[in-house]
Structure 1
Amino acid sequence: MLITTFKSVINAIENTYQTLDCTGAALVIFHNNELQVERYWGKHSAKKDARLVQSDTKFHIASCRKSYVAFAVAYALHHGFIQSLDAEILIYLPLPQQKELYKGITIRHLVTHSHGLIERNGEVVREFTAGTSWAYRDINVELISEIIQFTTKKTIAEILNYEVFTPSNFIETNWYNTFDDTFVDVIGKENNRHWSASLNLDGSKKNLYASARELAKWGLLHLNNGSLNGKQVIDSNIIQLATTLQSPSYSNADLPENGIFWFVKGSQAKKSEIGALVPNGAYQILGYTTVTLLIIPSENIVAVRAFNSYGNPEGYDYLKDVRAFGDAIMLDLT
């Protein structure tokens, strides 16, 4: 059996850690369901007496939260609360004053970033015809959150807590509005220690935190089709639905490819956030804090990197960097 020290990816994380405006980082890698790497760097904040980053450190995972929203969408589809990915959103969002604006937009369009909506000056408008292009906008999460609650009569947080967090014994993952010393500061977000902290705990906001180890266990649930430590926690059909390529056919073959919010590797699309060396079938989620969860089923890999940064410093190419993360893992496996 090939034994690797994952030296390339450790070096990649150290390089990113030195490049970003951050004070702490983490790396967790499972290979063949065995923990191979668990490394921590730095502190929770820039304060002199700040706590060291460690196994229970909770990172703000930003858009990585969409992998949990994806579960709620797949859950609603699997149980028939939502008819299909191709159901128009107006079925579940009766908005007569905006009927023409939302007409023709489907659940599939929302979860693959192909909906074409954008908010400008407080008003939602069309950026492009649904299904014809791709753009990363937060309005789709806002709409899908409303749809989940309307159809299931539960919030996203309620679904995740009951269906995933409690049976998986996840105690370091959730939406939070109070913080203790296990939470990192988000460096670079001025005048806000905890970026996008919200009193709202329904799962629709950006206040989701997780430890690197539990984010990796979330990945293991996906790698093992809903099973964790020999226990079937999630119906495998829900996992498959969320992580199967669901994007509409674009005329531009270089646009990113998505499952339900997850970025899925189906080709060598030039705008993909997944590295060129990573095989097809892999899927990944990336947050604005540079937190990343990558799952490579064909290699039995789950990898998490976490930082407490906010956004991209001048000269930092986030796409190049996150692709290098996956490519370094593949180099270590060769």
Structure 2
Amino acid sequence: MKTPLLFVLSIVLLTVSCKERNASTAERVDNNEQAIDTILEGIFRKNELMGMSVLLIDEGKVQWHKSYGLSNVANGSKVTSKTKYRVASISKTVTTLALMQLMEKGKVDLHTDVSDYLGWELRNPNFPDRPITLYHLLTHTSGISDGEGYGRFSKEMIEGQLPIKALFDPDGAYFTEDMYSKHAAGTFFNYTNSTWGLIASVIEIASQMSFDSYCRTHIFNPMGMHADFDPAYVDNIDDLAVLYRFKDGQWTPQTDNYQGQKPPSRMYEGYQPGMNGLLFGPQGNLRASAEDLAQIIKLFLNRGSINGHQIIAKVSVDMMLKSHWEYDGHNGNTWNNFYLSYGLGIHRITNTPKSDIIFEDRTMAGHPGIAYGLLSDMYFNIPTQTGIVFITNGSKLAFKYGKETTFYQVEEDVFKAVYPLLKK
């Protein structure tokens, strides 16, 4: 399959290069839609994916949105424009939007000791005199790691109605020594998920709303998104893709296998805002379609405004997109040169050769996601008003790094396939 794909791609590139360089993206799509659709279908089949959504934004508008495969193998449901996925770490960007709103209202300060908001002391035991701030949490430089206790806590927190303090307090029931690193806050980048439960807890304390309700009221509804952190609030549960891994010769559901029945809300009776923001998965539980993620991209392209609503201020957009950490050769765990620059809840692409490249002629910002068999991307570039969304809910093959970048090969292939559609 590899040779035909490369051949078709070369034909597409030649076709595009022969057209007027000032042609609109809509014209490029019209002229090349069938050829690129064929390439994407080939990528889908070559990687033996369960389902796939690809969306491209150019000139500030959605110019291309295609769906492939199945969202649910048991009932044969196909992926459509309405299909929602648990998009994993793309969720962190939305969580950051919520926190920035509260910062703008003066309810939180990013550089204040987060213990002041939580009502209990959060400290790395290796650096007991070093405060940890929201800024450190947003930039993955808090000195906190996803230790062994995190997984057990996540599985038991609903039934046990556990406070998040139990995970991070050295005297807590779920604390493990590997929760904290040998790096002081602000000195070392180490990507974490558990820390976003702390951020969500602060959002709840500052707003006196549950995290999911806050996002529903202040982000999703005004933005015209049909997304949610709690699957119980997804409009149509049958629109939610099951996430799969291929095990022992068969597709095995990993999460969101609700079989047409909505699950109960994750918020148990008696829950009080701030008890445990991790309950709603601020690090990865966002259920959203490719078109929902396109709304987030448009929000950034429009400098914080969408549908007549200023969701966050322009200055907050600039703060999120600014580089707050850059790899200098020894100050972080880069995940094989994938994370080389990070903003506030934003992965910043640097276009370093053989590393973090999406489109070679522009640097992107946004976030990836990977969990339970899913792989996802949401990236954009403001000067060119472009953006891309890619999501798959499972692959028979193990994801392998690309030959030319540190994205996975399937991502690299998709980026190359749609690149000819962009206005240069």
TM-score, normalized by length of structure 1?
0.83
CA distance in 2, matches of 1:259, 1:311: 33
Does residue 376 of structure 2 align to residue 294 of structure 1? Answer: no
**Structure 1 residues 200 and 80 mapped into 2: Cα distance closer, same or farther (>3 Å)?**
same
Letter in 2 for 1:160: C
SS of the residue 2:256 aligns to: coil
| Corresponding residue of 1:116 | 143
SS of the residue 2:293 aligns to: helix
| Corresponding residue of 2:222 | 167
SS of the residue 1:221 aligns to: helix
Q: 5 Å matches for 1:163-312?
A: 163-177=218-232, 180-188=237-245, 190=252, 192-194=254-256, 199-200=265-266, 203-205=280-282, 206-229=284-307, 231-237=308-314, 238-247=316-325, 250=328, 252=330, 256-265=340-349, 267-269=350-352, 273-275=356-358, 277-280=360-363, 282-288=364-370, 289-309=374-394
CA distance in 1, matches of 2:355, 2:313: 26
CA distance in 1, matches of 2:188, 2:38: 36
SS of the residue 1:41 aligns to: strand
**Matched-pair contact (CA < 8 Å) for 1:63–1:287:** yes
How far 1:36 sits from its partner (Å)? 1.1
**Structure 1 residues 212 and 276 mapped into 2: Cα distance closer, same or farther (>3 Å)?**
closer
How far 1:61 sits from its partner (Å)? 0.6
How far 1:88 sits from its partner (Å)? 2.6
* Deviation per residue, 1:128-166 (Å, 9 max, x gap): 222222222212212211222223323332222122222
* Deviation per residue, 1:48-100 (Å, 9 max, x gap): x411111111112111111110101211222212223x323223234348574
* Deviation per residue, 1:257-306 (Å, 9 max, x gap): 122111123x44579644361524x3121111212111111111122112
How far 1:198 sits from its partner (Å)? 8.2
| Corresponding residue of 1:106 | 133
**Matched-pair contact (CA < 8 Å) for 1:175–1:203:** yes
Letter in 1 for 2:86: H
Aligned residues: 329
* Deviation per residue, 1:148-197 (Å, 9 max, x gap): 22233233322221222222232244431377221111011845441798
SS of the residue 1:143 aligns to: helix
**Matched-pair contact (CA < 8 Å) for 2:327–2:340:** no
SS of the residue 2:53 aligns to: strand
Structure 2 spans left out of the alignment, 5+ residues: 1-21, 150-175, 247-251, 268-278, 332-336
**Structure 1 residues 91 and 199 mapped into 2: Cα distance closer, same or farther (>3 Å)?**
same
**Matched-pair contact (CA < 8 Å) for 1:89–1:105:** yes
After superposing the two structures, state which structure 1 stretch, 167-176 or 220-229, moved more: 167-176
| Corresponding residue of 1:158 | 213
Q: 5 Å matches for 1:133-148?
A: 133-148=188-203
Residue of structure 2 aligned with 1:35, choices 62, 81, 88: 62
| Corresponding residue of 2:23 | 2
TM-score, normalized by length of structure 2?
0.67
**Matched-pair contact (CA < 8 Å) for 2:144–2:180:** yes
How far 1:227 sits from its partner (Å)? 2.7
**Structure 1 residues 60 and 17 mapped into 2: Cα distance closer, same or farther (>3 Å)?**
farther
How far 1:14 sits from its partner (Å)? 4.3
What RMSD in Å do the two structures reach over aligned CA positions?
3.4
CA distance in 2, matches of 1:20, 1:147: 41
